[in-house]
Structure formats: structure tokens, C-alpha cells
Structure 1
Amino acid sequence: MSCYRNIITRAFISLLFVFSFSLFNISFAQDGEALFKANCASCHRPLEDFTGPALKGARDREPSKDWVYKWVYNTNSMVNSDPYAMALKARFQSVMTQQSEANLSKKDVEAILDWADKYEKPAPTKTPNGGTGEDNSLLYGILTIILAVIAFILLQVNSSLRKLSDEKEGIRRSEPVPFYRNKTYLMAGILVLFLIGGYFVIDAAIGLGRQQNYQPEQPIYYSHQVHAGVNQISCLYCHTNAQYSKTAGIPSVNVCMNCHKGIKEYTGEPILREDGSQVDATGEIQKLYEYAGWNPVKKVYDKPGKPIQWVKIHNLPDHVYFNHSQHVMVGKQQCQTCHGPIQDMPQVYQFSPLSMGWCINCHRTTKVDFYNKETGEGNKFYSIYEKFHNDIKSGKIDSVTVEKIGGTECQKCHY
């Protein structure tokens, strides 16, 4: 009987080992993705160019095998001396934030690039809020339940084998307590329920009010891909307030009519919805005319117009202060920093999580563009920080992030 017991014990240990090894592999595979999201996602994408170049295949495009390490740790010097680095600067009109090996090791850089090289564009899946996304929580939950049931069965088998062994050897033991009355099992069950309930409560509280990938249906199918991407219309032409106001503003119908008085039909590439159906783009232009009260045949406004009831996508909590002009004019941030590749979106969705951690991480890594009196370059808004400018000039520091000028203080966003 001891032979059976050893077999059961070894089988149980083997299952635990396989499960642990699988979790280790999953965690290791996700390290590159986690590092990418923490350090690179604000400027890079795996498959396409963004503020910086696409990371997939980056090592194949670079001059040498170890060039990437020199670039990451010596960005400020290489951007003015290395031909490939100078070409990147000229192409993207921006320079990557220099990192230290203490914060981002060579193994971390390698893990990020390995993950990017293996990255494949995921197939879009519909989420309840109308966006696309992927959630493996249900799969992990089912696997956890299966493993728990297997462990419970093995414990019962072990108990039965022990009972048979005792009967054969003539050992009398008290009748085992049923599992539903066993205090150990009951306590373990209570702890499991407490942990599961706590996880869902905390997860719901953290995600309260967030709506990443939110993509509502709009009264008119407006394609940023066509307007900002194909036709290269500047974001600031329609969202003029982004330069001078707290809010970017929703363009009035008259702004749309500046172009669509002359553009009556769509003749470009077919526009497809998320479900694959084709959009009647010319029909959407006719909807615009209805809102504007415009008669395209007589070319006059012959009936009262009305505003378009656009559905707001990007919402911040009421206790959060965000100023577009401060980021666009002072911080010189591109729209894509927060809104993602807006020029590639047939229909807009919320790209970024807009969480406090996401904002704080940006403030910790974004450099301040100080005004230089000698060259006349830089932003005069920061001229009050004369000490930092002098420290950069003397070589005491190489850059100043938003964090160093109070960008992570609570009062900056909550007051």
C-alpha cells in the first residue's frame, strides 16, 4: 500500500511542478510586454511607427548588434554624432529619453525587443462597451478551479489509501471527519472565497470610471483615418481650442461645412465598420447637410440647423484637472501621446487608460523644453526655472523631467 501512496505523492508533486513551470514560462513571456508598457508604450508601437519607430525588427535595421544598448544608455551624445541616430531624429523630429542601466538593464532591453519581434497583431474581439480587447480572466479562473478539484480528489484518494493500509495492518483509527465538517477544509474554503471576493472588489474599484477601448456609436460616422490620415488635415484645424483652452472642443457644424460645401460625395477607399460592413460615406455627408440645414442642390441654407449630438468618449473624473493648452502649447505633446494613432482610426475609441498611474509615468519621463536665451530656442513658459537651465548648461544634469518641476504633486491635478 505504501507503493500506491508513493505513486500518488509523486503524481501530485509532478502536477504541481508542471503547473509551476507553466506559470513561470507565462510570467517570463510577459516580462517583455510589461517592460514595454512601463517604459516604451508612450512613444513606440510593436508593428507601426508612432512618435518613435516600430520596435518589431528594430535590431535587424540597426547598424550593429549592440547598437541598441549604446543608444538607450547614451542617447544625448549619440543623437549628435551617430549617423543612424541622427537619421532617426530627423525622421521623427524627437529624441528618446536616455535611460540608465540601473533602471533598464540590458536583459530588460533584450526582453522588450524579443517580445516585439514575436508580437503579432491580435484578432479584434468585441467587448460589451463596443470596443475591442482580450480578457483571459475567465480562462485563468476555470484553470484554477480545475486544479483545485484535482488537488481535492488527490487528497481524498490519499485518505482512502491510508484507510485501506491501516485496515490491512490492523491499525484502528477514528473515523475521518467528512470534508464538509473538516475545519481545515472549511477555513481553506473561506479564505479562497475571501480572496476571490477581495480581488473582484478591488479590481472593480480600481477600474471605476475607466473605459479604455470605449467606442460608442456616433450620430455621423466620422473617420479620422480619412480626414487626419489620408487627407492630412491637422487636428488643430477642427480642435482649435486645444491650443488655447482647457478643453480641445468639439468642432461646430460650420467647421465641417467649410470643406463639405464643395465635397458632396466620398470617392476614396471603402470604409469598414468593426463588424466588416461597409459605410455609406456619401450618405454620412448627407446627414451632415441635414444637421447644417444646407441644400446641396441650391447651395443655400434653406432650413434651420441643429448641433450634432456627438457622444463624448474621453472622460476624466470631476476631481481631476487636465488642461489641453498646457500640454499642447507648453508641453509640446502630440495628440497621439494620449489619443493613440488617431490618424489610423476609422472610428475613434479611447486608446489610453487615462489612469493616474499612466499620467504620473508620463510626467516622470517627459523632459522639459527650457528656454535658451542665447539661441532663442525652447519654451519661455519655463524661464522661471533659471536654476535648472543653468544646471543643464554647466553639465550638472543632462535633462529635467516634469516630475522635477512639481509634475507629480497632488495639487497639480487635484484642486
Structure 2
Amino acid sequence: MIDHRPIVKRTLLSALLIVVLSFGNKVSAQDGKTLFQENCASCHKVDKDLTGPALKGIEDRVKDKKLLHAWIKNNQAVIASGDPYFTKLYQQWNKTPMSVFPNLSDTDIDAILKYIADYKSPAPTGTPGADPSAPHGKMGESDNAILYGVLTLILAVVAFVMLQVNANLKRLSDEKEGIPSGEPVPFYRNKTYITLITLLLFVVGGFFVVKGAIGLGRQIEYQPEQPIFYSHKVHAGTNQINCLYCHGSAWEGKHATIPSVNVCMNCHLTINEYTGAPIHKEDGTEVDGTAEIQKIYAAAGYDPKAKSYTGKTKPVEWVKIHSLPDHVFFSHAQHVRAGKVQCQTCHGEITAMHEVKQVSELSMGWCVNCHRETKVDFNNDKGEGNKFYSIYEKYHHEIKAGTRDSVTVADIGGLECQKCHY
């Protein structure tokens, strides 16, 4: 009989080494990009302004590398030091505080800066007039997972073939030396192989089951077609209409709400045709903007020729995109007005979207991480900031003593279960 124990040990060690090297190569190869996406992408883009300024050329604007590192790790301390460039930058962006990143090492920051310096804007391809910011042929995380899965499967097959070759060579060697050997056990009856395959299936199956269970109810990348093609890129981007003009409830109430057709008619009483740049759907189909305006007139019961209302309205059945569970409390006013959170933080670069999609997972972990990192508009001795936070005397004393430079949402109870759950 062939002793399979050394073979099994070598197989397990080889598989472990393959997995470690695969993941290690993935992290090291995408270190700067991954760090940027995890820490910076929610507020910054490399080549254009978002919630914060575009980062391309940041090392040319800030020659002192130590100062730049200090700004990323604790921007409030740099502002307090009176640095003219960053003080002016802070004022230009409405004194919106940037998140602090004390967890980032100098090596991490250098990797992010290298990614920014080497970044090249993707060339627009595909259908003429389509959104150039949309991904074209870009390999995402799911594609990487498939690639690593295929490579792992190939290596597993190679390892299995090598085991068979090794077993056959050992059998031939034993026969030549006159060492008796038993009849080889068929693959489908070999307990060692059956155990290994069972464990492999259990691990792989468990991974996909857990991943699927975690993703239940999350609608990231959900992008339904609406009954009227409303382009946020045209309205909020090109024409720079403030988000609160249509979603005024986001400033005052819990829900942002969908504006009534009357709000649309405030502008489209006089704008009855679309003369802007060509608009295309995700599939490349060109949109007739004037025809979409006619749908608004039909919904409002308005006759553009007679310039009067007919009274025959037709409700617009908009499809809801962003949805939270019923047991979750979320107030737009608390975030937009009190917290001064920009719309793009949760909804992505809305000013570049024709058809809106969900870009954030809106999971509890996603919200909790934001609460841990986001600083509140804490008032100071100059009378600036939200006056509500004056009740937190402990934090005021710590800031004066220099033991604290900022207050996050987590500090004021943002991680307490009852704050978000009924």
C-alpha cells in the first residue's frame, strides 16, 4: 500500500502557499489604487472635483512632503498651525473638514500619491455621446475573483497530475526493487481524495453562501429605467441646478422625497424642447429630450400649444432606487443640514449620471465606518460650528487642553444601536 500521508501534507502546504502568494500579489500590485478607493474615493477623484478638490498634481502644489503627510493624517492640526495654502483651501471648500487618517502609514500615503501621480484619465470609447466616465472594458473585482478562481483550479489540476505521476513512479521503483505493493485504490474510493474534495467543496460552498447572505437586500449598481428619462447630468451637472431645489425635504425632513411635477413645470413652462448635447441610455440608445419633456406635460395635464392646463393629469410612476429596511431610522436633515454631508458622499457623482444608480451598499457596516471617520461641525471659541455641540463640555475642555483635535460622530453616540434602530 502507498502511504498517502506525505503526499497529503505536501498538497496542503502547496495549496496554502498558492493562496498566500495569490492574495499577496493582488494586494501589492494594487496597493495604491486599493488604498485610494478605500480611503479617498468617497470624497475625491483624481482628475475632477467631487466633494473635495481634484487630487491630480497635489505634489506639485504642496512641495513639502512632510506637510502633505501631516495634512492627510490630521488636517485640523495643519490648519491650526496657520499654513497659508491649506488654510485657503479649507476656506475655499466652505470650511468642510476632511476626514483624518491617523491609521495610514507614510508608506501607505506614498503609495496613494504614486497612484495619483501615475493616474491617466480613461479615453472615451464606445458609443458617441456616451458618458466618458462610464467604465469600458475595465476589469473589476468580480473579474479578478474569476481570474484567480480559474488559476487556482488550473494549479489544483496540475497538483493532482503531479501526485498521480509521483504515485506511479513510486510504484515502478518499488517493483524494480522487489518491494511488494498492494493494488492501487481507485480515485473514487480513495478516502484521502474524498476527504480533500469534501473539504474543498465545503470551503468554496461556504464562501459563496456567506457572500450571498451578506449581499441580501443590497442593491449596489441597481439602475432601473424610469418612466421619464430624467438626466441628473443635464440638470445638476450642465445646468448646475442645486439638489435642494428639487429635493428640498432633504434639508428639513427625514426623506429627500421625489419632487412633484409642479416643480418640473417651474422651468419647463418656458423650456419646451431640448437643444443640448446628445443623451444616450446605458445601452447606447439616443434619447429624444424634447419627447421626454412632452411626457412631463402629459403628467401635469398641460397643453404647450394653448399654454394652459387641461386638468387631465397622469401620475408618474417613478421607480425607487435607494431603500433602507423598515427598522432603520435615517434622517436626511440630520446628515445634510446638521452634518453638512455632501450628496455625493452617499449617492456618488450624481452630476455625471444620466440614469441614476445606487453606488453605495448602504449596509450597517458602511454607515458605522462613516460615523467612525466623519467629524461633526463642532463649535469652537470663535462661535463657529453647530451650537448644539456646546453641551459636550468634556470635548471642549479636551480640545482646549490639546488632547483632542476633533470630534467624530462616534464620539457623540453615533455607534449606539438605539440611535438608528427602533
TM-score normalized by the length of structure 2: 0.86
Equivalent position of 1:69 in the other structure:
69
Partner AA of 1:271 in structure 2? I
Which residues in structure 2 correspond to 1:14-25 (within 5 Å)?
A: 21=21, 23-25=23-25
CA shift for structure 1 position 193: 0.8
Distance 1:179 1:47 in 2: 57
C-alpha change, 1:197 and 1:287, in structure 2 (3 Å) is same
Q: Does 2:397 align with 1:390?
A: yes
Equivalent position of 2:157 in the other structure:
149
Q: Which of residues 193, 212, 236 is equivalent to 1:185? A: 193
Distance 2:404 2:79 in 1: 17
Which residues in structure 2 correspond to 1:185-224 (within 5 Å)?
A: 185-224=193-232
CA shift for structure 1 position 331: 0.9
Equivalent position of 2:129 in the other structure:
none
SS of 2:279's equivalent?
coil
Between stretches 51-60 and 228-237, larger displacement belongs to 51-60
Q: Which of residues 348, 360, 383 is equivalent to 1:376? A: 383
Equivalent position of 1:45 in the other structure:
45
CA shift for structure 1 position 196: 1.2
Equivalent position of 2:36 in the other structure:
36
Aligned length: 397
Distance 1:236 1:19 in 2: 49
Q: Which of residues 241, 246, 250 is equivalent to 1:238? A: 246
Q: Does 2:275 align with 1:273?
A: no
Q: Which of residues 89, 97, 100 is equivalent to 1:98? A: 100
CA shift for structure 1 position 382: 2.4
Distance 2:324 2:65 in 1: 44
CA shift for structure 1 position 167: 1.7
Distance 1:186 1:62 in 2: 61
C-alpha change, 1:68 and 1:405, in structure 2 (3 Å) is same
CA shift for structure 1 position 90: 3.3
Output one character per residue of 1:202-232: Cα deviation in whole Å (capped at 9) or x when no partner. Answer: 0011000001111100001101111111111
SS of 2:182's equivalent?
coil
Partner AA of 1:25 in structure 2? N
Partner AA of 2:414 in structure 1? G
C-alpha change, 1:386 and 1:63, in structure 2 (3 Å) is same
C-alpha change, 1:123 and 1:405, in structure 2 (3 Å) is closer
Distance 2:42 2:151 in 1: 34
Partner AA of 1:379 in structure 2? N
C-alpha change, 1:293 and 1:387, in structure 2 (3 Å) is same
C-alpha change, 1:162 and 1:47, in structure 2 (3 Å) is farther
Q: Which of residues 396, 401, 406 is equivalent to 1:399? A: 406
Distance 2:352 2:168 in 1: 63
CA shift for structure 1 position 123: 6.5
Equivalent position of 1:89 in the other structure:
90
CA shift for structure 1 position 309: 0.7
Distance 2:255 2:187 in 1: 61
CA shift for structure 1 position 68: 2.0
| Contact 1:340–1:352 (CA under 8 A) maintained in structure 2 | yes
| Contact 2:372–2:410 (CA under 8 A) maintained in structure 1 | yes
Q: Which of residues 363, 371, 379 is equivalent to 1:363? A: 371
Output one character per residue of 1:88-147: Cα deviation in whole Å (capped at 9) or x when no partner. Answer: 2233232323333xx211011112223344455597369xxxxx9662233332222222
Partner AA of 1:69 in structure 2? H
| Contact 1:213–1:350 (CA under 8 A) maintained in structure 2 | yes
* C-alpha RMSD of the superposition: 2.7
Identity %: 59
Q: Does 2:135 align with 1:124?
A: yes
Output one character per residue of 1:154-182: Cα deviation in whole Å (capped at 9) or x when no partner. Answer: 11111111111222222211122122111
Distance 1:358 1:202 in 2: 18
Between stretches 281-290 and 112-121, larger displacement belongs to 112-121
Gapped regions of structure 2 (runs ≥ 5) = 1-9, 123-132
Distance 2:200 2:14 in 1: 23
Distance 1:64 1:395 in 2: 25
Equivalent position of 1:6 in the other structure:
none
CA shift for structure 1 position 339: 0.8
Q: Which of residues 294, 298, 301 is equivalent to 2:302? A: 294
Partner AA of 2:112 in structure 1? I
C-alpha change, 1:201 and 1:163, in structure 2 (3 Å) is same
Between stretches 334-343 and 248-257, larger displacement belongs to 334-343
SS of 2:59's equivalent?
helix
SS of 1:392's equivalent?
helix
C-alpha change, 1:223 and 1:297, in structure 2 (3 Å) is same
TM-score normalized by the length of structure 1: 0.88
Output one character per residue of 1:254-294: Cα deviation in whole Å (capped at 9) or x when no partner. Answer: 11011101100111111122222221111110111111111
SS of 2:415's equivalent?
coil
C-alpha change, 1:182 and 1:125, in structure 2 (3 Å) is farther
Between stretches 233-242 and 81-90, larger displacement belongs to 81-90
| Contact 2:376–2:407 (CA under 8 A) maintained in structure 1 | yes
C-alpha change, 1:55 and 1:175, in structure 2 (3 Å) is farther
SS of 2:266's equivalent?
helix
Q: Which of residues 251, 258, 271 is equivalent to 2:259? A: 251
Gapped regions of structure 1 (runs ≥ 5) = 1-9, 127-131
Equivalent position of 2:7 in the other structure:
none
Q: Which has the higher contact order (CA 8 A, sep 6+)?
A: 2
Which residues in structure 2 correspond to 1:312-391 (within 5 Å)?
A: 312-372=320-380, 375-391=382-398
